Amino acid sequence: KRTSGEGSPFVNLLENVESVASITGVIDAGSKGNEKFVMRKFMDAMSLYNKSLCFAENDSENIALAYGNRSACFFHLKEYKKCLTDISLAMDQECPEHLLSKLVKRREKCEKEIASGNNIEEYRPEIRSGGNEAFPECSADLRIQNSESMGRCVVSCVDIPAGETVIIEEALFAHPDPSCVEDPLGLASDSYKSLMTREFIRELLFDTEKKQSFLVHLILQHVVITSTNSSEIGGEKFVFILSSYFNHSCEPNVSYANQHNRLICLTIRPIRAGEQLYVRYNDEVDGET
């Protein structure tokens, strides 16, 4: 009598599926990372190399390749200390010979650059005038107010010159599937169907047609709000609370930058006291500070 599924065809099949999925994930993320690297979009490339690390098996050649590729990104970004760290991590794995020779040369170059004082430390922006009491991620020089014509918006309390950091915000959440943002009705429908498969929701909470209609509208409202207020960073959609209060202008006075999926809001022209802050909608947040 078997006490486990060891050796069963079903378990073996699952193991094969997981193995294939893992290999496919490594190859796909690695290839896309290489494409971004060639385009000199090093931060996007690193994000994809990180994904390939997640799929790779422990102590495998794929881990060494991912660390090695990531070290190349750090080298081009002139973050030589981080480059050295990834080189060491790559060498600790099953490192193929052709990669090992590249890593040795890259390590020598890094050490020379660091010795020459050329290492770039990570830029850490600071919010102008410190954080707002109500919103620590927002400058104390800004306020959020209601306008009959514009709804809720962001307004400056003082004159602010160009080049100031006014908001540094962590994402509230990321869309699991960015393509869903393009089809809010489809996403709302799928969400509703998923919820209604749960018995306690279907039979206890939303057991009448009127309640179910309310649920549909509630889901659709939230989907539309999050879809229209999301920002694209490196091909992914994120929702930020404070920056969603910015209204649109074809001549904005605020622009976005990205740092480790944090949204950095910068003034790009002088803003007068009492003036509203605007961004340009549908602009992808490309690159890192």
Q: Domain map of the chain by residue range?
A: 9-115, 142-279
Give residue 26's pLDDT band: very low, low, confident or very high (50, 70, 90): low
- CATH C-level class of 9-115: mainly alpha
Q: Are strands 236-239 and 173-174 parallel, antiparallel or unpaired?
A: antiparallel
Among residues 38, 43, 34, 42, which one has the least CA distance to residue 65?
34
Q: What are the DSSP calls for 125-168, one per residue? A: ---TTSB-SS-TTBBTTEEEEEETTTEEEEEESS-B-TT-EEEE
Q: How far apart are CA 83 and CA 88, in angstroms?
A: 9
Q: Per CATH, is 142-279 categorized as 2.170.270.10?
A: yes
Q: How far apart are CA 64 and CA 99, in angstroms?
A: 8
Q: How far is CA 26 from the centre of its chain?
A: 19
In this predicted structure, the answer to whether residue 165 has a pLDDT above a threshold of 90 is yes
Q: Give ∠ CA 156-160-161 in degrees, rounded to 5.
A: 150
In this predicted structure, the answer to whether residue 273 has a pLDDT above a threshold of 90 is yes
Q: Tokens 């306020």 identify what position? A: 143
The conformation of residue 204, written as its DSSP 8-state character, comes to I
- Specify the pLDDT at position 179: 57
Q: Render the burial of 10-26: b for 16+ CB within 10 Å, e for the rest.
A: eeeeeeeeeeeebeebb
- Specify the pLDDT at position 246: 92
CB 279 within 8 A of CB 252: yes
- 53-105 pLDDT, tens digit each: 877 777 778 888 989 999 999 999 888 999 999 999 999 888 888 889 999 99
Write the single-letter amino acid at 70.
R
Q: How far apart are CA 114 and CA 123, in angstroms?
A: 17
The mean pLDDT value for 205-231 works out to: 79
Alpha helices in the chain (DSSP H): 9-38, 42-55, 61-76, 80-91, 97-115, 184-196, 199-200, 209-228
In this predicted structure, the answer to whether residue 121 has a pLDDT above a threshold of 80 is no
Give strand pairing partners of 242. none
Between 203 and 38, residue with greater pLDDT: 38
